[in-house]
Structure 1
């Protein structure tokens, strides 16, 4: 299980929320089950796609051209300018004619420029339209990239990624601007006369970076040493704002992307590689521009003597999470020399900070996360549960402390900035969670719904029950969505009164804005403007990236699940809905659905949804299926185009597998059952039942 601090900053975190269930809930299950490789394009770029029926539907919303560029819209009165941006499809040939059949299906687009001459027929390609279709001439395209053969899962995955509509390649002017920067010259950096606060030379202070083994963009380095009964900590972050100036082509492209997107086997970076993996990456042994948040923490984890300033560091070592974990486990040889001492102090300091944060009410969720294992060809090999180790939390704790400190720094100086806001859960979500918890003797105080400590106490007691995993997922779905705002407000999940994202400017635009606010202050410039629109845009690009990550992960899960079709497996109920039971197999970390229509096929049973109790209850038999219950299921169908995995119930698990006695209860003695329900907090009577009833089979 992965311990998750809600809205924590480290890169090892994938999306916290489970894959979207809209495809199960909003779509009628089709008997034909299309095996389409590519979904409808994302709602980001404007084009009309002509369907085979001749009707046209808008596949993507309008996209404004980048500043300084001509509009891509055709000036002719054609119905639409199709496939202007790089798209995907299948390469075809007949005689001397070469064309692409786009995905999703559309009119053939011919290739005339020779870009397809070296590629085989039938392969998947990424292409760009060079001439839009008009009333008097056909469209034409140029091949950008070969994605692979049609029978490969790796190719299918690449097509989905390419078909997301997210920015991939950088414009030539952006790359040219990035390439113009030279190496850091320490003497020149320290002698800069344009700022009122000089860069501090911290090259003698031992800093280390702690990242995954495959990481290349090291945007944070830490140093720690004992001081009194506590520690002095330095969190030094890549000074991206000194390279990406407002109004430049680099800034426009970074703003457009909003965030780096981490997909299975591929990263879509916010900044060009020259910066993200080069000048802004805190590589060991080379001087780098940074902004440092320095603080002292006492033995109780309280922060004091907070200072934020531009600096120059030289990382002493690039440590991995595995190395730091070995250090935590007592392996003295895991990290050699002075970096080992810094690492041990950082570990101790993070534990002190963590205890204080959880004591204040920060949510400590232990929720497994999906990780797609990619094979040598780039295809999905498996989908497994990600289980972070304590080493991940060392960086997490230090980064959260720095983010809070910088937010307070902005407030104390009345500087315009962008804050991270996480509202408390809505009253109805809180009530639903409270009623569900009553079934297991869990109490959630309703006296102050804005107090995260009440929720934190509930979580700690929940972890001691067999329903811990399912209950924490229910809790996570009950939380409000975090967003960016120029107005400071509470971060409920972290129990913080002021929180800003400061520690990842290489991969998040809001962090870059915070850095820019600091630089404007140090250079005596005016405060940032237009932050309302920028904060809204950053929230939107974050949601777009999260949805892309979920969609590609679920697509990969479908490819893996297809190899197990027909197999029986153990699973647990992860969600209860009018559509049926959402389940996740123990050995395949992918969520699927047992449709409600399949649950009582042999008996013609009606099922009622008890929403607050998170149960499906048989109307005549009283059979119950509840959140967290263990089942034996069979994987019966995979619809790759719809991202659906369908199961059927084989049987409820044996009592030692977690099935409650209520699963075999009947409704013959309604009075007895209702009294039992009231004692356990379950709804009873018609008024308490959700007014959604499904007959599992037509009479």
Structure 2
């Protein structure tokens, strides 16, 4: 109900009375509102207008869009720009509509669980409420976000008479940016630069304006590859001085308040080039006679929560980054090296603070229970995967030999039990070989190989999965908030697409029932016996939803687990740090557990770190693309084999068998005929020949372009399945072998692709007729 604001008056109000009323009624500030409030009618309105004009001239009022307000007060709904978090982790905002004199008012943002994650520079529309506290004047609640911080671009600088231009390095981007002379920042011709938008385009057809904020050096330098992705995706790679100072002031944790685990042989097993070691393991037979053949497993994780406390400078920076980002030539860590490479890294022979979990499993690998400890450990050995596997396979070295019987073999015995449990649980069993890019000392690609997949890798994975389950179950039992790792079931339409792809390869996927991971595994195992394994594995991966973090538990479909939270990597994932703090709170281990702000902002934190995880994935993928393009740039004209990995209206993508590089075959090079792109069927169909191009088809291509700066790769199609492409009068034309020129293929896959195209067109036609009828 709208409040009554009439004030009976028998004469004109004084200036002070007008100012007091406007201050008390900031939403009702037009001349009409003021006149109504004071009961002013007729000719007296002229005198009221005079009073308002005088107050305006004296600077007490400001007239904007026919309303009056105190220039030293903010309107109840204001446009704000978000500032960086303060020392307590609170977000303040700068009012963009304040025109008063003196000290600018301070505005504290009060987040709600449903609000999106806000970052420094974001512009928002917010509802304000006046408060009378010492540290701020207003509290603001988000209405909506109306703009982000200035758009940034990474590109090559080219000098011009007016200053310069920036040629963006994004694949597919041909928009240039204009840089005025005073905004070049001293950049040199051909230099790689980072710039931010400085204003709109000049004129209707002009270029957007930019201001160079950082010079990144030679774009052709090998080590510029990851630097480009880091800046392009806005990943912070320098720690603020206060964060480094806080990290440098840290001292190693002592034994006080901790369980002494220093005599337990908790070993670390990592890649040979590992930059941090945040997990250690140990296993032994269970001596409980009621658990014959069972095992006791220990997983110890670096106690990052001891050093990174809620609201500290380290905490704010870690949360902002969300996670570490890994590139072939460098790591952009979540925490400074004093922590990630030293105090929180479980190095051999030195005492380190940890949070450890003791788990009991039976002979079949079923977990019987767990108990968590806040401890102090000292690892007897830092090992790598290859030497551990070699020791188990009969070739121990000087380091693994003494550990073989007392430490390594019991680990593998426990792993055998966990592997049996995994077989029964049937998590999604994708077989997607990881390609490893090897660089020389100068950062130049020397080879692209398939990474080894050893039992030692699988052992660590199973131990970590079990520990993550134990953490989630413990916190659920203790009714303590946490962040779950969520992976929801794939949507039905994606499963139908996967089913079609499987049928095109002569395989089957179960239908007419609730789909479980074991149904997908049956399909994957069918494909493994054919030449379609990579196609089906990729298609299955694409049918999956993306995993994310949430304070609500929706289960993990891919792992076939109901309760799952990330606990095992707090050095490189903020989600795990939240889980560690939750364990501290649940066990009453100290005052460095979950803060009130941590709990209130779990939803916002989950959204933010899910976003930063995707940001890192895209940056890592772009870096890999650029390194592969650099590697292939010396092999222009060479021929390769691969598979069609993507279909678009502008062409098709082919993934090479040798390196896994993806390149584009432009649609204009496919033939003189017009190709129809069918999004629903995922095909290209020749308008005159009716030939179908679909996912998974074998292809032979010639490399015609590889651009290391953008990562772009282009191919010329030489052969597709059993069709050969030959140049005809400057165009391209298909010639079938044994079927007559230009005739569509008759393989089962092509028949199904054509049927899918026809079915998709029929569905669209029926849908259109229904809309027209309604």
Bigger drift between 404-413 and 348-357 goes to 348-357
**Structure 1 residues 635 and 487: alpha-carbon distance in aligned structure 2, compared to 1, 3 A threshold:** same
Instruction: Give yes or no for the alignment of 1:466 onto 2:538.
Output: no
2:85 — aligned with what? 66
Deviation of 1:141 after TM superposition, in Å, equals 8.5
2:360 aligned residue: 296
Q: 1: CA distance between counterparts of 2:750 and 2:656?
A: 32
Instruction: Select the residue among 266, 269, 272 that pairs with 1:213.
Output: 272
Determine the structure 2 residue equivalent to 1:246: 310
Contact 1:282/1:288, CA 8 A, preserved across alignment: yes
User: Taking structure 1 as reference, are residues 123 and 175 closer, same or farther at Cα in structure 2, changes over 3 Å only?
Assistant: farther
SS at match of 1:214: coil
CA separation of 1:619/1:352 partners in 2, compared to 1, >3 Å: closer, same or farther?
A: farther
Residue of structure 2 in register with 1:349 after alignment: 414
Residue 106 of structure 1 and its aligned partner are, at CA, apart by 4.5
8 Å contact from structure 1 (residues 620, 666) kept in 2: no
Match of 2:587 in 1: 522
> Is residue 237 of structure 2 the alignment partner of residue 168 of structure 1?
yes
Distance 1:101 1:205 in 2: 62
Return the match for 2:497 from 432, 446, 458. 432
CA distance in 1, matches of 2:296, 2:477: 21
Q: How far did residue 231 of structure 1 move?
A: 1.7
* 1:686 maps to 2:754: no
Q: Could you tell me which residue of structure 2 aligns to residue 38 of structure 1? A: none
Q: 1:648 — aligned with what?
A: 716
The aligned counterpart of 1:533 is 604
C-alpha distance in 1 between matches for 2:750 and 2:305:
59
Q: Contact 2:569–2:576 at 8 Å: present in 1 too? A: yes
Deviates more, 1:333-342 or 1:81-90: 81-90
Residue 464 of structure 1: CA displacement? 1.8
Q: Is the CA contact 2:179–2:210 (under 8 Å) kept in the aligned structure 1?
A: no
Distance in structure 2 (CA, Å) of the matches to 1:421 and 1:81: 28
Q: Is the 8 A contact 1:406 1:500 kept in 2?
A: yes
Quote the Cα distance in structure 2 between the aligned partners of 1:482 and 1:453. Answer: 19
Deviation string 1:193-237 (CA, Å, 9 cap, x unpaired) is xxxxxx221111111000111112100000011223122110000
SS at match of 1:309: strand
Written as runs of structure 1 = structure 2, the 5 A alignment for 1:214-233 is 214-227=273-286, 228-233=292-297
Aligned to 1:594: 665
Q: Does residue 311 in structure 1 map to residue 375 in structure 2?
A: yes
Between 568-577 and 210-219, report the one with greater CA deviation: 568-577
Alignment of 1:151-550 (within 5 A): 151-155=220-224, 157-185=226-254, 189=255, 191-192=256-257, 199-227=258-286, 228-333=292-397, 335-338=400-403, 341-523=406-588, 528-550=599-621
Deviations 1:382-420 (A, max 9, x none): 444434333211111110111111111111111110001
Unpaired stretches in structure 2, ≥5 consecutive residues: 1-79, 100-146, 169-176, 200-208, 287-291, 724-734, 765-774
> Does the residue aligned with 1:65 lie in a helix, a strand or coil?
coil
Question: Could you tell me whether the CA contact under 8 Å between 1:423 and 1:491 is conserved in 2?
Answer: yes
- The 3 A distance-change label for structure 1 pair 590 and 622 is same
Give the Cα separation in 2 of the matches to 1:642 and 1:150.
10
Does the aligned pair in 2 maintain the 1:624–1:662 contact within 8 Å? no
C-alpha separation between the residues in 2 aligned to 1:530 and 1:220? Answer: 28
**Cα offsets for 1:625-646 (capped at 9, x unmatched):** 4433322111123455654322
CA spacing shift, 1:291–1:447, aligned 2, 3 Å: farther
SS at match of 2:556: coil
2:727 matched to 1:630?
Answer: no
Aligned with 2:465: secondary structure? helix
Change (3 A) 1:354 1:580: farther
Match of 1:27 in 2: none
Instruction: Report if the CA contact (8 A) 1:607-1:617 is conserved.
Output: yes
Query: What are the Cα deviations for residues 55-93 of structure 1, in whole angstroms up to 9, with x where unaligned?
Result: xxxxxx98642325998999999xx99999998876999
CA contact (8 A) 2:230 2:237 kept: no
Q: Which runs of 5+ in 1 are unaligned?
A: 1-60, 193-198, 656-660, 693-699
- Give the drift of 1:485: 0.7
C-alpha contact 1:109 1:139 (8 A) present in aligned 2? no
Q: Is the contact between residue 608 and residue 618 of structure 1 (CA under 8 Å) also seen in structure 2?
A: no
Task: Report SS of the residue matched to 2:438.
Answer: strand
Distance (whole Å) between structure 2 residues aligned to residue 364 and residue 285 of structure 1 = 37
- Alpha carbons of structure 1 residues 62 and 299: separation in structure 2 relative to 1, 3 Å: farther
**Matched residue, 1:585:** 656
Distance in structure 2 (CA, Å) of the matches to 1:85 and 1:606: 37
2: CA distance, partners of 1:420 / 1:492: 10
**CA shift digits 1:561-590 (9 cap, x unpaired):** 332222222222223344432212223321
**SS of structure 2 residue aligned to 1:415:** coil
* C-alpha distance after superposition, 1:523-582 (max 9, x if no partner): 287773321111111111111111111122212222233322222222222233444322
CA distance in 1 between counterparts of 2:153 and 2:750 reads 59
- Secondary structure of the 1:210 match is strand
Name the CA shift for 1:491/1:159 in 2 (closer, same or farther; >3 Å): closer
> 2:318·2:335 contact (CA, 8 Å) conserved in 1?
yes
Q: Taking structure 2 as the reference length, what is the TM-score of the superposition?
A: 0.68
Distance 1:109 1:392 in 2: 55
Residue aligning to 2:77: none
Deviation at 1:496, TM superposition (A): 0.3
Asked which structure has the greater CA Rg, the reply is 2
Report if the CA contact (8 A) 1:420-1:482 is conserved.
yes
Contact residue 705 and residue 713 of structure 2 kept, 8 A: yes
In the alignment of these two chains, the number of paired residues is 594
Q: More relative contact order in 1 or in 2 (CA 8 Å, sep 6+)?
A: 1
Contact 2:156 2:193 in 1 (8 A): yes
Whole-Å Cα distance in 2 between the matches of residues 594 and 180 of structure 1? 55
- Residue 175 (structure 1) shift: 1.0
SS in 1 for 2:571: coil
Among residues 646, 658, 669, which one is paired with 1:575 in the alignment? Answer: 646
* CA–CA separation in structure 2 for the residues paired with 1:81 and 1:445: 46
Query: In the alignment, is the contact (CA less than 8 A) between 1:83 and 1:128 conserved in 2?
Result: no
CA gap 1:489/1:156 in 2 versus in 1, 3 angstroms:
closer
SS in 1 for 2:500: helix
- Shift in Å at residue 437 of structure 1? 1.5
Q: Secondary structure at the match of 1:271?
A: coil
The whole-number CA distance in structure 2 between the counterparts of 1:663 and 1:299 is 59
Instruction: State the superposition RMSD in angstroms.
Output: 4.2
Change in 2 beyond 3 A, CA 1:684/1:234: closer
TM-score (norm 1): 0.75
